[in-house]
Each structure stands twice: as structure tokens, then as C-alpha cells.
Amino acid sequence: MTNKIPKPILPGATIGVLGSGQLGRMFALAARSLGYRIVIYSPECAPPAGPVADKEYVGEYEDLQKIQQFAREVQVVTFEFENVPSLTTKAAAEIVPVRPDGEVLHITQHRLREKTFLQSNGFPVTPFRRIDSLEDLQRAARELGLPAVLKTASFGYDGKGQVKIKSAVELPAAFEALKGQEGIYEAFVNFEKELSVVAARTASGEFSAFPVFENGHANHILDVTFAPARIEPRLAKEAANLAAGILEKLNVVGLLTVEMFLTKDGKILVNELAPRTHNSGHLTIDACVTSQFEQQVRAVCGLPLGSTEIRKPAAMANLLGHLWQDGEPNWAAALRDPEVKLHLYGKTQARVGRKMGHLTATGNTIEEAVARVVKAREALVSK
């Protein structure tokens, strides 16, 4: 049987995006520069992607009639936010292609389905158990040991909905914290590094991955990413191969990010999948031949993928709301380094922990790029 490759969706066409945050904003900017029109759909009022979209729908994801009205205006639907109900993607898919498709969303928006998919297809993950009762939790602790991380199966991100359990006395309180939601118990991974691979695949099966990113977190939120990761070439290859296998098995048309742990004994484990662009990939805008956002456009529209080559070592630092605590940050001070680039997401409310923007710096070495970006971020709050 031959797979029919759909016709490419060419510049001039309209792309629909579910979600309207900063990932949607940067996607829209990339799509517009390639000559596409953008229509966004989300429940948010005045979202980051609004001012750069050609048209904005404000509606609930459950409003299937409105979703279909939106879908009729576009040639393809993609997303920047994966927690969209299955019925929403189904409704859109009755009208136009949804890329990646609803099945990819269904698997990746639920940690148990995701880890079960990975494990049953031979991709390495930390041992895990489904938790519906305190008895399940006690059994999991006996079988997999402690410490462990207990997470809600759905709707968790940036460490929300998860607790680390160090000893058996903490089990009842950890179970209470699930508040009746389905949980997943994961054996704690003693990791050396956290890595991510952002990769794209087209309907014809063309695959391309960006260099491996190395990620540092603060308070469970991504803090600084740099690339290429400081790992042996053998491990970088293994990480890219894992991503290729996962995108193929899931039959992804579009972009998908694989978050990974490198354990202290040199093994790579998959932590999480995100069927979209990723915060750790922001440095591709300034450091790679093709940005992750342009790559998403190319992949969902069936254009040839762009080169993911990194021109220079690069580092990205997130700008969170607390930087606004004492007034507007000192932008000029941060930009005094000519290799530093500023990206702001157009958010007007600077809440603590909210991602407001990021800085990227390039350098002759990774160390230099990281030092530059960290120094620039410090300069934002200098008087």
C-alpha cells in the first residue's frame, strides 16, 4: 500500500492555531514572515498571540460549533497548547487536517497514557504505576521504592500537580494532594542532566531534530537552556534517535518535543512529550538556521524542513514576572551586550513565576553564551 502524501499548503494560505500564548505568538511571527495568514482560537482575552494574528477567535474549546467555524477559515490546524479536549480536535478534523493529529494529543496530554505508550514501544522510562487509591500508592512505594514523584495524570506543567515523596510517612498527605484525581507514581530519577530534543516530521516522513538542549530549572520552571548540550556525541546521537523513533511511532506530522533525563550512570530516560514547540527551543530563533517555529510551519504545511544547524553556541534565560517587582526592567542595560537578544511576549500583568519573555545570547563557547545571558538578565534589575 502506498501512503498518499497530501499536497503542500503553500504561503498565502491560512493556518489555524489552537492556543494563543507566547508559543502561538512566536509561531505566528514565523508563519507571517513566510507569507501565511494566521487565525488563533482560545478562551483568553488579549492573549500574547492576538496582536500578531490576522484574526482572533475568543471561545471555549468545548464550543464545537465555533471550533468548526474557525476550522472553515483555515487550511490546516495546529496548536501551541496541548490540553485541548479530544472532541475539539475531532470537530476541527472533520473540516481540515489537524497536525499533529488528535491521537497524538490524546496520548501526550495524559502522563499515564504517555508513559504506557513509551514503555510498550520499548522507549526507556522510569518505572511507574497508576494511582487511584491510597492502597495503590502504598503498593507502588513497596514495589518501586522511595524516593518517588507523585503527579496528577492530567494538566500538570512546570512542576504543578506533583510532589516528591521521600519517606513512607508522607504517603497519605501525598495522596490527599491528588484531590481525587488520577495519579502516576514515578520512581525518582537521580539525574545528571535534563535534556530536550525538539524534532519535526512531515507527512512524507522527512525527519529533522535540533541539536540537544541542556536545561536548568529553578523552582520547577525552566530557567536557563543552552545548546549544544555538554554530552558525549554518542549520547547526542542516542537522544536524536530516540526522538526519531517516537515521532515515527506516533506518526507525528508537525513538531514534538521530547524531554529527557540523563541519569548519573549514563542512561537516557524519556520524561515527557510535548506535541509542540518548547520553551527550551526558544534559542533556535537567534542561533539556528531555522527556528523551531518556522520548522513547525514547514512541517504542518508539508514544506521541506529547514536546516537545524546551530550557527554558534547559544544560551536562553527565561524572564519571569518577579523581575518586574521593582518596576520596569532595565532593557538598555541588558542589551548593552551586542550578542544578547530580547524577546517579550506582550503580557501586561507581571505575576511571580509568569513567563514574560526571554533573552538569548550567543558566544564562542557554551560557557561564554551562558555567562552572557545570565549577566544580561542580572543587568535587568540593576539600578
The site for ligand AMP (CB under 6 A) is made up of: 126, 149, 156-157, 159, 186, 188-189, 194, 217, 220, 259, 271-272
Q: Least distance to ligand AMP from the beta carbon of 126, Å?
A: 5
Question: 80, exposed or middle or buried, with CB in 10 Å at 0-12, 13-18, 19+?
Answer: buried
Question: 327, exposed or middle or buried, with CB in 10 Å at 0-12, 13-18, 19+?
Answer: exposed
CB nearer to ligand AMP: give 75 or 126. 126
Q: Least distance to ligand AMP from the beta carbon of 271, Å?
A: 5
Distance of CA 22 to the CA centre of its chain: 11
Q: Least distance to ligand AMP from the beta carbon of 217, Å?
A: 5
CB nearer to ligand AMP: give 154 or 330. 154
The CA distance from 183 to 345, in Å, is 33
Q: Coil, strand or helix: which one is 355?
A: strand
Q: Coil, strand or helix: which one is 213?
A: strand
**518501586: which residue's cell?**
144
The CA distance from 268 to 52, in Å, is 38
CB nearer to ligand AMP: give 258 or 323. 258
DSSP states of 77-142 as a string?
Answer: EEES-----HHHHHHHHTTS-BSS-HHHHHHHTBHHHHHHHHHHTT-----EEEESSHHHHHHHHH
End-to-end CA distance of the chain: 67
CB nearer to ligand AMP: give 159 or 228. 159
Ordered alpha helix ranges (H), the chain? 22-33, 64-72, 86-93, 102-108, 111-120, 134-144, 171-177, 233-249, 284-287, 292-301, 331-334, 366-380
Q: Least distance to ligand AMP from the beta carbon of 57, Å?
A: 29
Q: Least distance to ligand AMP from the beta carbon of 78, Å?
A: 22
Q: Least distance to ligand AMP from the beta carbon of 279, Å?
A: 11
CB nearer to ligand AMP: give 185 or 293. 185
CB nearer to ligand AMP: give 118 or 303. 118
**Residue count of the chain:** 383
Q: Least distance to ligand AMP from the beta carbon of 159, Å?
A: 5
CB nearer to ligand AMP: give 160 or 351. 160
Q: Least distance to ligand AMP from the beta carbon of 161, Å?
A: 8
CB nearer to ligand AMP: give 151 or 372. 151
Q: Of 73, 67, 69, nearest to 54 (Cα)?
A: 73
